[in-house]
Amino acid sequence: MSKSIEDLFKCRKDVDKVLKEFKDYWNRTQNIPLEKAPKGEIAKTLYSFMIPRFQILSPEYKEFFSKEEVEEVKRREREGTAIKKEGGTVVSLDNTRFRFKGEGFSSSPAVDKHFSYYSRNTLLGDIAKTKKGNCIAMTALFTALGRRLGLDVKPVKISSSHAAPEVVIGGRKIVMDPLLKKVTPVSRFEKPPLELSDSELFVNAVRSKKFIERDFKNVSKKKRLMRRRSRH
């Protein structure tokens, strides 16, 4: 018998807690008992439940950026001199591009494609505890919760760098992506999403975590060296 996705990540108790939160959310927002609800309504409510509560986690910028750099980004924001691009405000500091995201900052893929996430936000147990995670963690959590709720859901690969959950409702395959806040029937994709097994999703999460930790260490070391040189 194959392991459930929460057992692969060894976080069943953490998923149990989030499932209880969802059931409380359902009771507050829906008039029909969860046991009698249509699958489509459950999927829609689970998607709505995750969007405001589970968001992407930027790197802890205080460990990576100096106070002067943070103030410079904020100054450019106030003056309107930062470059405006879809997905955030991009500014250039010390030949490194940063994307402004709410209260924190995330490095752009110009530095390293893996560093745009913090290492603890790739695993299912972490997003269940912190309510923050990247596409892998969100897909894993949506899949785990959806299956507990009786949904036919599986992780799929949308592109070379993005995963999302796919739900089958009334025979229709629909990608419900809480990270990008998009609900898209599979029939609208130019190329059908590639199905991922639970094991493949788990391996990708662990591999991504290692890449991020390595890149964070390498980039931080480089920046510390640059600052040391600038003082002389």
Instruction: Indicate whether 231 belongs to any domain.
Output: no
Residues 106 and 17 reside in one and the same domain: no
Instruction: Indicate whether 218 belongs to any domain.
Output: no
Q: Can you spell out the DSSP letters for 14-32?
A: HHHHHHHHHHHHHHHH-SS
**The predicted structure's pLDDT at residue 220:** 52
Distance in angstroms between the alpha carbons of the first and the last residue of the chain: 63
**The predicted structure's pLDDT at residue 59:** 43
Residue range 152-161: average pLDDT? 92
Residues 10 and 102 reside in one and the same domain: no
Question: Which tops the pLDDT comparison, 196 or 51?
Answer: 196
Question: Is residue 113 within 8 Å of 106, Cβ to Cβ?
Answer: no
Q: Which of 108, 102, 111 is nearest to 77 (CA)?
A: 102
Task: Pick the most confident of 84-98, 139-153, 171-185.
Answer: 139-153
- What is the pLDDT confidence band of residue 202, given thresholds at 50, 70 and 90? very high
Question: Is residue 146 within 8 Å of 49, Cβ to Cβ?
Answer: no
Residue range 189-201: average pLDDT? 93
Pairing status of strand 83-85 against strand 96-101: unpaired
Residues 196 and 130 reside in one and the same domain: yes
Residues 51 and 62 reside in one and the same domain: no
Residues 165 and 77 reside in one and the same domain: no
Residues 128 and 203 reside in one and the same domain: yes
Residues 148 and 177 reside in one and the same domain: yes
**The predicted structure's pLDDT at residue 116:** 42
Residues 12 and 127 reside in one and the same domain: yes
In this structure, the chain runs to a length of 232
Instruction: Indicate whether 221 belongs to any domain.
Output: no
The tens digit of pLDDT for each residue in 87-142 reads 455 555 443 445 444 433 333 333 333 334 456 677 898 888 888 778 888 999 99
Residue range 185-190: average pLDDT? 94
Instruction: Indicate whether 75 belongs to any domain.
Output: yes
Residues 203 and 123 reside in one and the same domain: yes
Cα–Cα distance, 171 to 126 (Å, whole number): 33
The range of the structural domain enclosing residue 107 comes to: 58-111
Cα–Cα distance, 92 to 162 (Å, whole number): 26
Question: Which tops the pLDDT comparison, 176 or 209?
Answer: 176
Residues 196 and 125 reside in one and the same domain: yes
Token couple for 157? 């690969």
Instruction: Indicate whether 22 belongs to any domain.
Output: yes
The tens digit of pLDDT for each residue in 38-68 reads 999 999 999 999 986 776 554 444 444 556 6
CATH code of the domain covering residue 198:
3.10.620.30
Provide the domain count of the chain. 2
Question: Which tops the pLDDT comparison, 228 or 189?
Answer: 189
Kindly report the CA angle at 24 between 20 and 28, in degrees rounded to 5?
Answer: 165
Instruction: Indicate whether 232 belongs to any domain.
Output: no
**The predicted structure's pLDDT at residue 179:** 82
Residues 18 and 132 reside in one and the same domain: yes
**The predicted structure's pLDDT at residue 1:** 55
Cα–Cα distance, 225 to 94 (Å, whole number): 13
Question: Which tops the pLDDT comparison, 84 or 178?
Answer: 178
Give the chain's mean pLDDT: 76
Residue 190 has pLDDT above 70, yes or no: yes
Instruction: Indicate whether 63 belongs to any domain.
Output: yes
Instruction: Indicate whether 220 belongs to any domain.
Output: no
**The predicted structure's pLDDT at residue 75:** 73
Q: Which of 197, 201, 168 is nearest to 185 (CA)?
A: 168
The tens digit of pLDDT for each residue in 15-35 reads 999 999 999 999 999 999 999
For 157, phi then psi, to 5°, come to: -100, 115
Cα–Cα distance, 55 to 180 (Å, whole number): 10
CA distances from 18 to 11, 32, 33, 216 (A): 11, 20, 18, 29
Residues 38 and 125 reside in one and the same domain: yes
